[in-house]
Chains A and B, each alone.
Chain A
Amino acid sequence: MKLVAKSTHGENIVVRGARVLDPAGGLDQVLDVRVDGGVVAQIGSALDTNEHRVVGGEGLVLAPAFVDPHVHLRTPGREDEETIATGTAAAAAGGYCAILAMPNTEPVVDSAAVLESLVERARAEAEIPVGFLAAISKGLDGAQLTEMAELAERGAIAFTDDGRPVASAGLMRRALQYSAVAGRKLALHCEEPTLSRSGDVHEGTVAAELGFGGYPSVAESLMVERDLALAAYEERPLHLLHLSARESVEALRAAQAAGVEATAEVTPHHLSLTDEAVRSLDPNVKMNPPLRAAEDREALLRALRDGTIGSIATDHAPHARQEKDVPFEEAPFGVTGVETAFAALYTFLVRPGLIPLETVLRRLSHGPAEAYGLAPPRITVGARANLVLLDLGSAWRVEEAAFRSRSVNSWLLGETLTGKVLLTVADGRVAYAA
């Protein structure tokens, strides 16, 4: 199980005098960090810089770089919306040292041939390490399992039909059983399609007033409960994608307490917004699952704090400008997010005191790596350098022109955010410098 990038060339760097914050390692101290050949070689005070590139870190935070477990790179098929090169460059600018790409492309990543061509392209153009998930069912049609064992051999990190639910309980059970052969987890988009259908907006007062077909919370939580029950029965682990409803969180908490090996993720937009934002009818607040009520947001925040939800995932979903420049009801689901995730979380959650900085950093890095069995980024001697340098005092305005992503469908356009990524070191290489 390996992530792929275009270069593994390790660099020599010293970051001087930053507040080094590695919550997983219990480290929070002003220190120098020296990287030799891409490996953290020394952590201490007044370190020798040799011939190294020196980065002034005074007044800044140096943390383990982030891992995004949920990105749509739109390649193959919609390279007009995103490519491996632009998506990974965008992620690097967001402080990420690794991302996982979803398989709902055109064609779907459901065969060794498609997966291998992606791995090859990533080796040529990925700015940071990228891993690929493969589909659970061929063509995401929910009928026939993919050749999971072979796909795992060729590098599939996990399996998912993300974008669509596995509607059949029978197929879900078989997928859980067979994924044991592949030695990989399933990552599940939980949506009961006969309840969510024609729903663009969370079913509640806002949808009722605006006239939208409601997408009720129970459409998600019913599937979460089904999949947790099957996982418990088959004694298999699973990962729940982009949770949005408080009932889902409650089901997850109960399953974890009962010993089910279940992890979950939540997006910055579900943590920051509620369905009230839909009143603007801005197509850039239309996503699946939809923004939900204030009580749902509270439950997500609580679960993120107490660790029930261990990962923050952007669900970065680029869309061509002309596809979003339509009436809300006609617009496709999804928003971009890798370039704004940290600043959004810092602005809307950390600064108002809802979630401590340490928790956000941990859920952006250690949590998702652990959920997928990847080596968690750490700031410790001997570890590959996966570092992000953050300026917590700097405010910036989110503008179309500054995006490295090929798409601009951000829910934060025009917003002023606080917290800026200044430097990203991914697998020992400087992948981004502001």
Chain B
Amino acid sequence: MNDIPSTRITVVRESLPPKPPERRHLISIRDLDRDDVERLLATAQSFESSLERELKKLPTLRGRTVITLFYESSTRTSSSFELAAKRLSADTMSIKAAGSAVDKGESLKDTALTLAAYDPDVIVIRHPHIGAPQLVARVTEARIVNAGDGKHQHPTQALLDLYTMRAALGRLDGLHVAIVGDVLHSRVARSLIQALELVGARCTLVGPPTLIPRGMAAESSSDIATIADADVVYVLRMQRERMLEGANYVPSLREYAERWGVTRERLRPGQVVMHPGPMNRGVEIDAEVADAADALIQQQVRAGLVVRMAVLYDLLAHGPTAVPADAVLEVAS
């Protein structure tokens, strides 16, 4: 019984004729290899200086259209994608589920087809359900950037986290990151675990066993003391909606905070703290820790802008007007 052929995925590749090179998307960290990550981080770095200038706009994506389609509330992600597109001179359009045809029961497929009529180059989508970006990729010609689909992936968050870690600590290879909290429901954790593996960093998951999924490809511990080994303590948001009565992931937020809350006492000097936001101060993270000078939480937000500029640039840089990011910067300055 050792000779069972592998599953469908292989079968499909065997039986279908070769396809033309596919449109590139950023739906999962799995869409990237290490070189892609290095290139994206370097591109983001090159955009950093543009933020210092008085005139912050670059002409790079002039004439391109970027649509953001958000089915979930978001402050950080939607605003930074929109600003990133604008800084690169793309035309942008933001659709929010509330107040749109979605309110009238329009399906995701139909909304995507409607937007496709405007020939967008990129659709940035956030959706509560796993598989939504794939659906939009199937029914439109646009490049798709996943800004969060259910509990699956949030790849640009992981990229901005890598960017922030490298900026603060000078390296990624060999870095040890402890991810603390509700891994089970976290798309941020799923993307970050894969991204850390890609760049040669080590990762430990810390939290109650009910919130660490079985089969996760990382070390894990239910003892908060294990964070002492880490260079970076990455705190996940404790999602209150998961703590409804009867769910029993944890007996109470009080007990969670007591056992797994990241406090000053549980950190050692030199450790840096990160959090993807929004925070529940006093639950997963102590207010004092969140506001401390060595917390990187504000840097993460700032990195979001340049990293998302880099992602948009990278997806569209292979067209007829392709120019390296640096060259474009020179033209602009």
A203-B214 contact given A326-B135, A327-B129, CB 8 Å threshold: yes
Docked-complex contact A415 and B15, CB < 8 angstroms: yes
Contacts of B213 in A (CB 8 A): 207-208, 214
**B1 in the interface (beta carbon within 8 A):** yes
B135-174 vs A, CB cutoff 8 Å, 1 = contact: the mask equals 1000000000000011111000000000000000000000
- Docked Cα-Cα span, A297 to B5, in Å, equals 11
A212 contacts partner chain B, Cβ-Cβ < 8 Å:
yes
Which A residues are CB-close (under 8 A) to B215?
Answer: 203-209, 214
Instruction: Answer yes or no: A348 CB below 8 A from chain B CBs.
Output: yes
Q: Which of A197-226 contact B (CB under 8 A)?
A: 200, 203-212, 214, 216
- Would you give the shortest CB distance from B319 to chain A, in whole angstroms? 27
A353 touches B107 (CB 8 A): no
Q: Is A205 touching B187 in the complex (CB atoms < 8 A)?
A: no
Query: Does the CB pair A328–B131 fall under 8 Å?
Result: yes
Q: CB distance B130 to A328 under 8 Å?
A: yes
Q: CA separation between A339 and B216, bound complex, in Å?
A: 38
- Closest chain-A Cβ to B9's Cβ sits at a distance in Å of 6
In the bound complex, what is the Cα–Cα distance between A404 and B297 (angstroms)? 58
- Chain B residues near A28 (CB, 8 Å)? none
Hey, which chain B residues are within 8 Å of A326, CB to CB? 107-109, 129, 135
Q: For the complex, is A352 an interface residue (Cβ under 8 Å from B)?
A: yes
Q: Could you tell me if B129 and A298 are in contact, using CB atoms closer than 8 angstroms?
A: no
Chain A 99-115 near chain B by CB (<8 Å), digits 1 or 0: 00000000000000000
Question: Is B55 in contact with chain A by the CB < 8 A criterion?
Answer: no
**Interface: A276 (CB within 8 A):** yes
Q: Does A50 contact B (CB under 8 A)?
A: no
Which residue of B7, B187, B213 has the most chain A CB atoms within 10 A of its CB atom? B7
User: Taking the complex as formed, is A424 at the interface, i.e. its CB lies under 8 A from any CB of chain B?
Assistant: no
Whether a CB of chain A sits under 8 angstroms from the CB of B11 is yes
Please measure, in the bound complex, the distance between the C-alpha atom of A211 and the C-alpha atom of B133, giving whole angstroms: 14
The answer to whether residues A279 and B9 also contact, given A211-B130, A297-B4, A301-B4 and a CB cut-off of 8 A, is: yes
- The answer to whether B4 and A211 have CB atoms under 8 Å apart is no
A415 — which chain B residues lie within 8 A by C-beta?
11-12, 15
Task: Report Cα–Cα, A328/B135, bound state, in Å.
Answer: 8
CB of A144 closer than 8 Å to a CB of B: no
Tell me if B84 is interfacial: C-beta within 8 Å of chain A. Answer: no
Instruction: Provide the B309-332 mask, 1 if CB < 8 A to any CB of A, else 0.
Output: 000000000000000000000000
- Indicate if the CB atoms of A354 and B132 lie closer than 8 Å: no
Query: What is the minimal beta-carbon distance from B255 to any residue of chain A, in angstroms?
Result: 23
| Residues 253-296 of B at the A interface (beta carbon under 8 Å) | none
B interface residues, how many (CB within 8 angstroms): 35
Whose C-beta in chain B lies nearest to the C-beta of A416?
B15
Other-chain residue from B6, B109, B217 in contact with A209 (beta carbon distance below 8 A)? B217
Least CB separation from A351: chain B residue: B5
Interface string of B90-117 (1 = CB under 8 A from A): 0000000000000000011100000000
Contact partner of A325 (CB less than 8 A), chosen from B15, B107, B214, B216, is B107
Interface membership of A124, Cβ < 8 A: no
Question: Do A212 and B130 touch across chains, with their CB atoms under 8 A apart?
Answer: yes
Contacts of B308 in A (CB 8 A): none
Query: Could you give, for residues 1-19 of chain B, a 1 whenever the CB lies within 8 Å of some chain A CB and a 0 otherwise?
Result: 1011111110110011000
Of A208, A274, A414, which contacts B216 at CB under 8 A? Answer: A208
Most chain B CB within 10 A, of A214, A326, A331, is at A326
A258 to B216: give the CA distance in the assembly, Å: 38
Interface contact B131-A329, CB-CB below 8 Å: yes
Q: Taking the complex as formed, is A273 at the interface, i.e. its CB lies under 8 A from any CB of chain B? A: yes
Cα A206 to Cα B8 in complex, Å, equals 15
Residues of B contacting A280 with CB < 8 Å?
8-9
With A329-B150, A414-B16 as known contacts, state yes or no: A211 contacts B107, CB within 8 Å.
no
Query: How far, in whole Å, are A273 and B187 apart by their CA atoms in the complex?
Result: 26
Which residues of chain A come closer than 8 Å to B127, judged between CB atoms? Answer: 327
The CA of A145 and the CA of B323, in the complex, are separated in Å by 72
List residues of chain B with CB within 8 A of the CB of A216: 214
Q: Which residues of A contact B131 (CB under 8 A)?
A: 281, 283, 327-331
- Least distance between A152 CB and chain B CB atoms (Å): 40
Instruction: Answer whether A327 and B16 are a contact pair too, CB < 8 Å, given A204-B214, A276-B9.
Output: no
User: Cβ of B7: which chain A residues have Cβ within 8 Å of it?
Assistant: 272-274, 276-277
Q: A329 to chain B: which residues have CB within 8 Å?
A: 129-132, 150
B237 at the interface (CB under 8 A from A): no
Q: Which residues of A in the span 274-325 have a Cβ within 8 Å of any Cβ on B?
A: 274, 276-277, 279-281, 283, 285, 294, 297-298, 301-302, 322, 325
Task: Give the residues in chain B near A281, CB-CB below 8 Å.
Answer: 130-131, 134
Within 8 A of B (CB), among A202-258: 203-212, 214, 216
Q: Which of B209-238 contact A (CB under 8 A)?
A: 213-217
Do residues A302 and B130 form an inter-chain contact, with CB atoms below 8 A? Answer: no
CA distance A216 to B16 in the complex (A): 33
- Chain B residues within 8 Å of A272, by CB: 7-8
Q: How far is the CA of A283 from the CA of B216 in the complex (A)?
A: 23
What are 25 contact pairs spanning A and B, CB under 8 A?
A205-B216, A208-B214, A208-B216, A209-B194, A211-B190, A214-B214, A272-B7, A273-B7, A276-B9, A277-B8, A277-B9, A281-B134, A285-B8, A325-B107, A326-B107, A326-B109, A327-B108, A327-B127, A327-B132, A327-B149, A327-B150, A329-B131, A329-B132, A414-B16, A415-B12
- Give 4 new A-B contacts, CB below 8 A, not counting A214-B215, A327-B134: A273-B8, A294-B4, A326-B129, A414-B12
